[in-house]
Amino acid sequence: MGRFALVLLLPVVVAMANPARAQDAFPQGVASGDVTADAVILWTRTAAGPVRVEVARDAAFADIVAQLDMSAGDDSDGTLKFDITGLTPSTVYQYRFVRLDTNETSPVGRFRTAPAAADRAPFRFVYTGDSNAEFQPFTILRHAAAETPDLWFWAGDTAYADAILQGLPPAVDLPGYRGKHRQNREDAPLRELLAGSPVWVQWDDHEVSNDYDGGDLEPNITRGQQLAGYQAFFEYQPIRPQNVAGDAYRTYRSIRYGALAEFFILDCRQYRSRDAGRDGGGPDPRAFLFPTLEFDTLSRLSDPGRTMLGAEQVAWLKAGLRNSNARWKFILSSLPFTSLLFLPYDRWDGYAAEKYDLLRYIDVEGITGCVLLSADIHGNVYNPDVTRFLRDTNWEHFSPCFRISEFIAGPIATDTIEQEIGILGARVLEQSPAEFQQSALFQLGFDFLRDKIVAANQISFIESNRFAYLVVEVTEESLTLTHRGIPADPAITDAPLETLSTVMLPEPPPQGCAPGLLSPVCMCLIAGLVRRSRPAISRRRSARRHRRS
């Protein structure tokens, strides 16, 4: 065996020399997150006692570049987060944790720092969300780890804290929320991906309660419960606290990844107004399917006084996009901009004025290279232009050649959107979900609904029944965005990975926007009209001067 092969195997040897002992001492594994060109957050959990983290350039830990000591305690449920600084851009590091009282060592983790600001080197990342412990193992994440991404994004619903899962009741206090996060960290494929690639994490609703409105809480959710959910999230995720006065749990932030990309990670929960559905409204207020047009509901949906992000976050996003000179600008929204037509209250459809304001701002400012990434709906979608629905249905104005694409990915593991609709229909008809989902009635109804959504948005790709992720290859010239998935059944752990869709951006511009014969012809016509109008304008001005004299 050559020296190179031995070096490659050293991390495995170190980590697995005594795997049971390492797992006993560090039962939730290790993770790295919020990685930048010179810093990273390193995370683990262990019993109370002194712990050292070691960061090295080599797998044998002979070249240790940083080490810090900290004590685990009950005040943070044994979780530890080390903020390591002074690192070198575009460099692979190994890290491990050592208990100083017992000399037990954690599994070895790995991360690559972000490129320097001027670096134009290609890179790849994985994007997915929605991980429900009831559907473990998270087999799709083992495939995601095999992609060896430079980084990955965990796009909300990182724990289903509001459900009864594996005997744990819905969480309402800090111990309950901590328990829900521990449940997910017991999943081996998740631990593998977290150890192998740095994560940038985002929350959505299930970290606290289904579809909650953080800026105007539902009556059944207390402020203390909300804060307990937030605290547990910050304890169990390798996220860097921003230490903002009056906003202790701020999660919206951006990451610059060399010259090619900047990522804007949104918080679509904490600052939002109450959703319009809490004041009444049916499942189809726009009457897409039923004669149920609800003018009062539509007025509330489009009320400019309601906000998804809050004024401060909106201003931050606009300024960041305007000032960014990155080739590609990824806007990570836990909720989709694409319209699903029905039940519009919780998603961007329910905050229509702010949705239009953001998209129109990107249009008017001429900000190029923007791509929307989202999750939440438990399905996979490529929408070439989220403004298409707004132009055709809401008659909202955009520049003729402006468009912005959205890619929706997931779930990691939970009921898919197709399964959810089947479960709902079975409940109404008092049938078993498995029986109903195999019926011709369900297939006809679901196909009709899907086709309506596809037609209204002019969607190019939709897959409604796979556990899946999106892998993105980033270069200066293009993006290659590929959805990959497996059957949506947690009992099937050996299914081969399927490529569901591949898209390359930028796509050809819309018809009429490409440079060619039309542009110079139009310019000549306009110039001719201007020349022909000048004598008439001159005669009118002379006549006015003559009358005044």
Are the CB atoms for 233 and 158 separated by under 8 Å? Answer: yes
> Of 364, 49, 78, which is closest to residue 235 (Cα–Cα)?
78
* CATH for 381: 3.60.21.70
In a domain, 133, yes or no: yes
SS3 category, 270? coil
Element (H, E) at 51: strand 49-56
Residue 164 covered by a domain: yes
Supply the Cα-derived Rg of the chain in whole angstroms.
Answer: 26
> Do 109 and 224 share a domain, yes or no?
no
Whether 14 and 157 map to the same domain: the answer is: no
Same structural domain for residues 28 and 144? no
Structural domains in the chain (count) = 3
CA 20 to chain centre: 34
Reported for 85-88, long-range contacts at CB under 8 A and 24+ positions apart, including other chains, are: 85/38, 85/39, 86/38, 86/39, 87/37, 87/38, 87/39, 87/40, 87/55, 87/113, 88/38, 88/113
- Asked if residue 403 lies in contact with residue 383, where contact means CB atoms within 8 angstroms, the answer is no
Kindly state whether residues 44 and 140 are assigned to the same domain: no
Residues 6+ apart with CB under 8 A from 42: 30, 31, 32, 53, 55, 81, 82, 84, 95, 97, 109, 238
Query: What are 398's two structure tokens?
Result: 């955009």
Tokens representing residue 89 in the block: 């851009």
Residues 93 and 166 in one domain: no
pLDDT at 441: 92
Cα separation, 135 vs 137, whole angstroms: 6
Strands (DSSP E) along 401-465, which ranges?
405-408, 461-463
d(C-alpha 116, C-alpha 38), whole Å? 9
Structure token pair of residue 222: 């207390």
| Nearest CA among 407, 413, 412, 233 for reference residue 332 | 407
Residues 217 and 351 placed together within one structural domain of the fold: yes
Instruction: Please check whether residue 12 lies inside any domain of the structure.
Output: yes
**420 shares its domain with 322:** yes
Q: What is the pLDDT along the chain (549 residues), one digit of tens a residue?
A: 343 333 333 333 334 344 445 668 999 999 999 999 999 999 999 999 999 999 999 999 999 999 999 999 989 999 999 999 999 999 999 999 999 999 999 999 999 999 999 999 999 999 999 999 999 999 999 999 999 999 999 999 999 999 998 889 999 999 999 999 999 999 999 999 999 999 999 999 999 999 999 999 999 999 999 999 999 999 999 999 999 999 999 999 999 999 999 999 999 999 999 999 999 999 999 999 889 999 999 999 999 999 999 999 999 999 999 999 999 999 999 999 999 999 999 999 999 999 999 999 999 999 999 999 999 999 999 999 999 999 999 899 999 999 999 999 999 999 999 999 999 998 988 888 888 998 999 999 999 999 999 999 999 999 999 999 999 999 999 999 999 999 999 999 999 999 999 999 998 876 766 443 333 444 344 344 434 444 444 454 455 444 444
Residue numbers of the domain that contains 538? 519-549
Query: At 500, which helix (H) or strand (E)?
Result: strand 498-505
Do 60 and 181 fall into the same domain?
no
Rounded to whole angstroms, the Cα distance separating 72 from 80 reads 6
- Integer Cα distance of 19 and 105 in angstroms: 10
Q: Residue 112 corresponds to which tokens in the numbers above?
A: 């690559």
As a whole number of angstroms, the distance between CA 90 and CA 115 comes to: 5
Residues 468 and 371 in one domain: yes
Instruction: Give pTM, 2 decimals.
Output: 0.90
Residue 511 falls inside a structural domain = no
Q: Is residue 398 part of a domain?
A: yes
Residue 252 resides in a domain: yes
The CATH number that applies at residue 15 is 2.60.40.380
60, 32: one domain: yes
Q: 281-303 burial, b if ≥16 CB within 10 A, otherwise e?
A: beebbbebeeeeebeebbebbbe
| Strand positions, DSSP E, 113-170 | 123-128, 151-155
CB 485 within 8 A of CB 128: no
Residues 20 and 153 in one domain: no
Torsion sign (Cα): 252, 336, 141, 21: positive
Domain-embedded: residue 468: yes
Q: Are 130 and 416 in contact (CB under 8 A)?
A: no
- pLDDT of the residue at 513: 66
Q: What's residue 167's pLDDT?
A: 87
Same domain for 337 and 384, yes or no, is yes
E-only strand ranges, 276-356: 328-332
Kindly provide the residue ranges of all beta strands, DSSP E only, lying in 214-259, ordered along the sequence. 253-257
Q: Which of 429, 416, 434, 427 is nearest to 377 (CA)?
A: 416
- What Cα–Cα distance (Å) separates residue 16 from each residue in 8, 10, 110, 248? 14, 10, 15, 38
Number of alpha carbons in the 13 Å side-chain half-sphere of residue 102: 14
For residue 365, which phi and psi values (nearest 5 degrees)?
-75, -10
Evaluate whether residue 118 is within a structural domain: no
Listed residue (488, 510, 462, 466) closest to 340, CA to CA: 462
How far apart, in whole angstroms, are the C-alpha atoms of residue 332 and residue 339?
A: 17
Pairing verdict, β 405-408 and 370-374: parallel
Inter-residue contact 356 to 397 (CB < 8 Å): no
SS3 of 108, please?
coil
SS3 330: strand
